[in-house]
């Protein structure tokens, strides 16, 4: 899953695109490099990011989705949003996946909306909001509490007859660096739900802060952590660097083939 942020403030400058021709060009490049999905986000969710209005988010993402699909009609677009109305309009425009960082917490209409739309839904674990989550990483039993979170939400989605659910444990969202590595070590425990797992590790602070390097130099560390995530049974990698990640998947597949 290649990341395109239609924002001026996402944490990695290489993912930010605001001109339609640049958005389409990057989507084409990612598709040619082997991306299965293009994830379009119009509201930065980095820690402490400024909140924007729903209308501003729509003004950013809907023209982007429309432009990509006019040029690349076979592209699979994921809409990265926690707002139900944005998700609905994006799907009506042509998106085929909803990627919600809040697990339905920031818009109580989200579960009903995705169930009505019957598109795959990426259910992520987070606490609070992008503005507050950095201070909300105190857990008594982080894996147990996250298991309970996913169990409750998957149950609600199944009650609404949503067919396709993907789990994302939310690296960097209401977790400190040590917790992120602990969760990566035990990521395979979340396979108990029998659902595909997504890992979003690309160029995050658990890499560049630990290595004391700028985010622009975090590709090598990303490849290492993506490889470890694949060993834990991850089905989908959400990344800024598609070519390198596709190569990682290909080599891992050769290695793990019986």
Give the active site residues.
Answer: 204, 238
Query: How many Å separate Cα 198 from the centre of its chain?
Result: 7
CA distance 220 to 208: 10
Q: Which two tokens stand for residue 44?
A: 């930065």
Count of CA atoms in the C-beta half-sphere (13 A) of 35: 26
Give burial (CB, 10 Å; 0-12/13-18/19+) of 6.
buried
In the numeric block, the tokens 């707002």 are attached to 83
Count of CA atoms in the C-beta half-sphere (13 A) of 34: 13
CA distance 211 to 190: 28
**Euclidean distance between the first and the last CA atom of the chain, given in angstroms as a whole number:** 26
CA distance 123 to 98: 9
| Run of H or E residues at 245 | helix 242-256
160 in Cβ contact with 112 (< 8 Å)? yes
Q: Which two tokens stand for residue 143?
A: 């894996």
């Amino acid at each position: 899953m290649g990341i395109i942020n239609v924002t001026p403030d996402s944490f990695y400058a290489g993912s930010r695109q605001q001109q339609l021709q640049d958005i389409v060009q990057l989507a084409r490049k990612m598709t040619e490099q082997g991306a299965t999905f293009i994830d379009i986000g119009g509201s930065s969710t980095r820690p402490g990011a400024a909140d924007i209005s729903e209308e501003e988010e729509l003004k950013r993402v809907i023209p982007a989705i429309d432009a990509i699909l006019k040029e690349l009609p076979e592209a699979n677009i994921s809409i990265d949003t926690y707002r139900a109305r944005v998700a609905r309009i994006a799907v009506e425009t042509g998106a085929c996946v909803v990627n919600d960082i809040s697990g339905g917490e920031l818009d109580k209409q989200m579960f009903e909306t995705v169930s009505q739309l019957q598109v795959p839904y990426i259910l992520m674990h987070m606490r609070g909001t992008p503005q507050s989550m950095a201070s909300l990483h105190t857990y008594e039993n982080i894996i147990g509490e996250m298991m309970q979170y996913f169990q409750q939400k998957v149950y609600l989605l199944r009650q609404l007859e949503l067919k396709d659910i993907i789990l994302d444990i939310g690296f960097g969202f209401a977790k400190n660096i040590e917790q992120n590595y602990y969760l990566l070590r035990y990521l395979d425990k979340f396979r108990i739900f029998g659902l595909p797992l997504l890992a979003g590790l690309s160029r995050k602070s658990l890499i560049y802060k630990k290595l004391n390097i700028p985010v622009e130099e975090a590709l090598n560390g990303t490849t290492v952590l993506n490889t470890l995530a694949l060993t834990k049974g991850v089905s989908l990698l959400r990344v800024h660097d598609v070519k390198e990640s596709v190569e990682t998947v290909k080599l891992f597949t050769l290695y793990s083939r019986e």
